[in-house]
Structure 1
Amino acid sequence: MATTAAMLQCYTLSFSRVRVRVSSGGGGGTTLGFASSQLGGARISISRPAPLPHKLPTQPIVARRVCPFTGKKANRANKVSFSNHKTKKLQFVNLQYKRVWWEAGKRYLKLRLSTKALKTIEKNGLDAVAKKAGIDLRKE
């Protein structure tokens, strides 16, 4: 049986004093290859691992500390000690998870919004505040 160069894959593995050359056919991810060491010529069977998926999540998805309705975000401020020594700190927005009744959709929406936005929603209504912020409530 003749194998072409395109079908034959060769791997060279270097260990401390043993050099192993692995050749395997161009099949799927579970085909077996055979290796022969240069010291004794013993054949070693090696299975190739299955290929990894193309896209792996590199970082976890974390919600930003920004209110989608008001656009409020963290403020950089000074922390002032008793000796008037100033160090930088962040003042974060008071974001809360809240179930809000959406009258037009006849259902509850679980939103992460600032307490200032919650007061604005109670005053003007959820539809008016979402329209002004450019948020489509049907996707929530």
Structure 2
Amino acid sequence: MATITAGISLRGPAVSGNRTFAVTKRALPKLKLSSELSFLTSQLSGIKISSTNLSSPASLSVPFKTALQPVARRICPFTGKKSNRANKVSHSNHKTKKLQFVNLQYKRIWWEEGKRFVKLRLSTKAIKTIEKNGLDAVAKKAGIDLSKK
């Protein structure tokens, strides 16, 4: 079984850069191989393979589509607090699993260094810590760059 090594270039919000995959001949059926043409056309979902000669690695371009939007996780970026797995215990002592979520709040906080408001999703513990120590100190300790948000 022959193997073609291809450099795949994917473009999209979730993927950047080039990825290299090994593609077997079984994975690419019904290819029209032609030595006169400088590209090979696949009949699988619009994949286009181009190469000058078959001894060098082929270039493979795949259309990239994002099916779902990223979902915000229920984790506080400053404290790292996340949901806790717990048991819900009934009167008969029957235990069922449940999640205890973090008390996250959307909060606009004045950022003195940037001279603007920053909208963050914080736990109530992080809000109390920011009120005590200041936004810059807490963000520096957590390793968060506020200029991006």
Deviation string for 1:39-65 (max 9, x for gaps)? xxxxxxxxxxxxxx9221122210011
1:64 corresponds in structure 2 to: 73
Give distance in 2, aligned partners of 1:71 and 1:138. 20
Deviation string for 1:90-123 (max 9, x for gaps)? 1111111110000111100000111110000001
Give distance in 1, aligned partners of 2:135 and 2:69. 31
- 1:138 corresponds to 2:144: no
Q: 2:134 aligns with which of 121, 125, 134?
A: 125
- Structure 1 residue runs of 4 or more that deviate by more than 6 Å after TM superposition: none
Cα shift at 1:136? 0.5
| SS of equivalent to 1:83 | coil
Residue pairs, 1:1-140, within 5 angstroms: 54-140=63-149
Give distance in 2, aligned partners of 1:82 and 1:119. 36
Identity of aligned residues (%): 75
- Tell me how large the CA RMSD over aligned residues is: 2.5
How high is the TM-score relative to the length of structure 1? Answer: 0.62
Corresponding pairs, count: 97
How high is the TM-score relative to the length of structure 2? Answer: 0.58
1:43 corresponds in structure 2 to: none
1:125 counterpart letter in structure 2: G
- Tell me, which stretches of 5 or more residues in structure 2 are unaligned? 1-35, 44-61
| SS of equivalent to 1:87 | strand
Structure with larger RCO (C-alpha < 8 A, sep 6+): 2
Give distance in 1, aligned partners of 2:71 and 2:143. 22
Cα shift at 1:134? 0.2
1:105 counterpart letter in structure 2: G
- Tell me, which stretches of 5 or more residues in structure 1 are unaligned? 12-52
